[in-house]
Structure 1
Amino acid sequence: MSQTYVKQTIENNIGYITFFTPEHNAMPSPILKQLEQTIINAGQNNDIKVIVLKSGGERTFCAGASFTELVAIDTLEDGKLFFSGFANVINAMRNCPKLIIGRVQGKAVGGGVGLASATDYCLATKYAAIKLSEISIGIGPFVIEPAVSRKIGQTAFAEMTINAEAFYDANYAKAKGLYADVFETVDALDIAVQELALKLASYNPDALLELKKVLWQDTNHWDTLLIERAQISGTLVLSNFTKQKLDSYS
């Protein structure tokens, strides 16, 4: 489990897409690009009727963007490209013609909350606390905000963003609508994910496609919006405040 990867397997018309990095599944730009393309390819694969998005390991689902890459940003162009990574993955999930089930086995931070929010149906364990910590280092969860607010509402998004150093437990995430259900163990989570995926894979694919369209109605402007948000974060990451904060963590 020491190598970074994005991989896809297909079983019973279910496409399982798994990402992993040793740094608590924090995502560098190349892995985000690979994840984006894998989701696009799965959407075009006729052998796949439904997609399950998951991460490797038993602990953190996703710690957000790569901190190592974040601290190295020194131009506006690099900043925009860096923050466009999660924007492009979220848009790939939104535009994918297949329903995407999220399988969240552990904590989700920043961009990890964005990924969970961009799934069509998300299941988690009781260990899957969520956190939006970006404002505490002088940037903000601007790229993922449309996806997160769409799932949990603007009030909850504001609460989490302002109380940036706090984790909110899985039951909070369920109560706000991010998780459809929360399970005691990873094994129970996997059973529930598989059962749901098998049911969906047996349904009329044309009906599932129309459902996907309905679920993401009025979001076509996200292709532009999320990139505009990436530019905002890309500008803020160059500020003296953020540079000093990042240096203090190094």
Structure 2
Amino acid sequence: MENGYVKSEFHNGVTTIEFHHPQSNSLPSRLLEQLAQAIHGAGNDTETKVIILRSEGEKAFCAGASFSELAAIKTTEEGTKFFSGFAHVINAMRTCPKFIIGRIHSKCVGGGVGLAAAVDYAIAVEGVEVKLSELALGIGPFVVGPAVERKIGLSAFTQLAIDAHMWRNGDWARKKGLFAELHPSVESMDESIIRLSHTLVASSPEATAELKKLSWQGTENWDKLLIERAAISGRLITSEYSKKAIEKIKQKQVVAA
């Protein structure tokens, strides 16, 4: 589909949620809303025992916020509403009673790093790189920050957040705990995802739900916290600095085209 999609497929206890957008699997408001709804739906489905989150194609796993939508934001209210979309997705993943396996097949930028951090078990392929690019746009990784910090610790999170232009490779991400596994090929990655999903389907739903709650202990305030963080980004994205940074990137994209 030209403007992207979110779709869910159920098979033998596993619900696979896939998202796609032609701009490097970036996420506009519409897809963020659909993604949160899909996660809620699978979490509430008694037949679903485990969820796999993946994106379409072979290029970026997720380039984060939709750049064209960021450029169109004119007011703090519009900005807060947009960034709240990421808050809703992360909170949907946090409160979902099923484990979510992330299939990370390529680069993660900004909000894409947040998605990789918010899944319960991320399986990636060698060659994947990660970058929190928000500071370069005059904002910061405020909404995804708690999820990233929870997974890799404050020191590694601030390294990513401060050097917004530097890519970190998959080995760095695995050693820091963002990825649970790093595989030499897509085939090996997919085999591991199938193996783990089959194991979780055969596990006790009550036990997995309790383990999930335990693993997210201490995040009970995120419904409020992430919306407060969205308001910070929502205010900053309307600043003169952000407008100039976005315009500069748009000009580069035109030249590249």
Report the TM-score range of the alignment, normalised by the length of the smaller protein: over 0.9
Instruction: Tell me the secondary structure at the aligned position of residue 8 of structure 1.
Output: strand
Q: What letter corresponds to residue 158 of structure 2 in structure 1?
A: A
Q: TM-score, normalised by structure 2?
A: 0.96
- Aligned-partner SS, 1:182: strand
Instruction: For 1:216, give the aligned amino acid.
Output: W
The two structures have a TM-score, normalised by structure 1, of: 0.98
- The Cα shift of 1:127 comes to 2.1
Q: What's the offset of the Cα at 1:206?
A: 0.5
Specify the code of the residue in structure 2 equivalent to 1:171.
D
Q: Does 1:24 align with 2:24?
A: yes
Structure 2 equivalent of residue 232 of structure 1:
232
Q: Which moved more, 1:3-12 or 1:82-91?
A: 3-12
Residue in 1 that maps onto 2:126: 126
Equivalent position of 2:106 in the other structure: 106
Distance in 1, Cα, partners of 2:136 & 2:76: 20
> In the TM superposition, what whole-angstrom CA distance separates every residue of 1:166-213 from its partner, at most 9, and x where no partner exists?
110000000000101101111111111011001011011110010011
User: How many residues end up aligned between the 2 structures?
Assistant: 250
Question: How big is each residue's C-alpha offset from its partner over 1:95-134, in whole Å with a ceiling of 9 and x where there is no partner?
Answer: 1010101110000000000001000111001122100010
Gap regions ≥5 residues in structure 1: none
3-state SS in 2 of match to 1:141: coil
Aligned to 2:154: 154
Instruction: Tell me how large the CA RMSD over aligned residues is.
Output: 0.8
SS in 2 for 1:219: coil
Q: Which residue of 2 aligns with 1:219?
A: 219
Q: Are 1:136 and 2:145 an aligned pair? A: no
Please report how far the alpha carbon of residue 11 of structure 1 lies from its aligned counterpart in structure 2 after TM superposition.
1.1
Please give the secondary structure, in 2, of the residue aligned with 1:130.
Answer: strand
After superposition, where does 1:31-110 map in structure 2 within 5 Å?
31-110=31-110
Aligned twin of 1:208: 208
**Hey, what's the Cα distance between the residues in 1 that align with 2:137 and 2:58?**
28
Identity of aligned residues (%): 50
* Structure 2 segments unaligned to the other structure (5+ residues): 251-257
Residue identity in the other structure for 2:6: V
The structure 1 segments of at least 4 consecutive aligned residues displaced by more than 2 Å after TM superposition are none
Aligned partners of 2:123, 2:154: CA distance in 1, in Å?
21
1:15 aligns with 2:29: no
Matched residues in 2 for 1:155 and 1:227: separation?
Answer: 23
SS of the residue corresponding to residue 16 of structure 1 reads strand
Mark the CA change 1:12 to 1:18 in structure 2 (over 3 Å): closer, same or farther.
same
Tell me the CA shift for residue 4 of structure 1.
Answer: 1.0
> In structure 1, what is the Cα distance between the partners aligned to 2:200 and 2:100?
10
Quote the offset at 1:2 in angstroms: 4.7
